[in-house]
């Protein structure tokens, strides 16, 4: 079960740089066994760079839900179990030639990885926590 983050924790985490956000996200996803995305009736939300289309992922419901504003206000945060991510999402994203943007901040900056690289980081973290 995931614990709720309070406003002070959210504010502190929002000040992390990209690398700190990445490390925090990987640890939280593995600890809670959930990857958070945003979705609407068309599927999951995407961010686009000049080179890639990316699926943003977040470590906690609070951070995903904070993105459900403006053009995304109809979106809902949804948890995907880590097992389902490994078994379906990694391959599905690869097949669709999509990347993963890990824990983007409000400026849409985050670490971008190929799905297999993201999967590797999650499995590496999981092996540390055993």
**Residue extents of the structural domains in the chain:** 7-128
**Is CATH 3.40.1350.90 the classification given to domain 7-128?**
yes
**Continuous H helices in the chain:** 7-14, 18-32, 61-65, 82-84, 90-95, 115-128
pLDDT per residue, tens digit, the chain (130 aa), is 457 788 899 999 999 999 999 999 999 999 999 999 999 998 999 998 888 899 999 999 999 999 988 888 999 999 999 999 999 999 999 999 999 999 998 888 899 999 999 999 999 999 997 7
Pairing of strands 76-81, 34-40: antiparallel
Give residue for tokens 């906690």.
60
pLDDT, tens only, 42-74: 899 999 888 889 999 999 999 999 998 888 899
Cα(26)–Cα(104) distance, rounded to whole angstroms?
A: 13
Q: Which residues pair with 37 in a beta bridge?
A: 78
Mean pLDDT taken over the chain: 92
Give this prediction's pTM.
0.92
């Amino acid at each position: 079960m995931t614990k709720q983050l309070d406003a002070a924790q959210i504010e502190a985490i929002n000040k992390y740089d990209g690398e700190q956000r990445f490390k925090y996200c990987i640890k939280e996803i593995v600890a809670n066994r959930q990857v958070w995305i945003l979705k609407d009736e068309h599927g999951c939300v995407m961010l686009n760079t000049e080179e890639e289309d990316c699926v943003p992922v977040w470590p906690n419901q609070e951070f995903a839900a904070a993105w459900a504003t403006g053009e995304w206000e109809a979106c809902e945060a949804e948890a995907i179990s880590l097992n389902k991510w490994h078994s379906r999402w990694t391959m599905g994203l690869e097949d669709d030639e999509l990347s993963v943007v890990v824990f983007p901040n409000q400026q849409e900056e985050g670490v971008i990885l190929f799905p297999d690289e993201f999967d590797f980081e999650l499995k590496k973290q999981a092996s540390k926590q055993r």
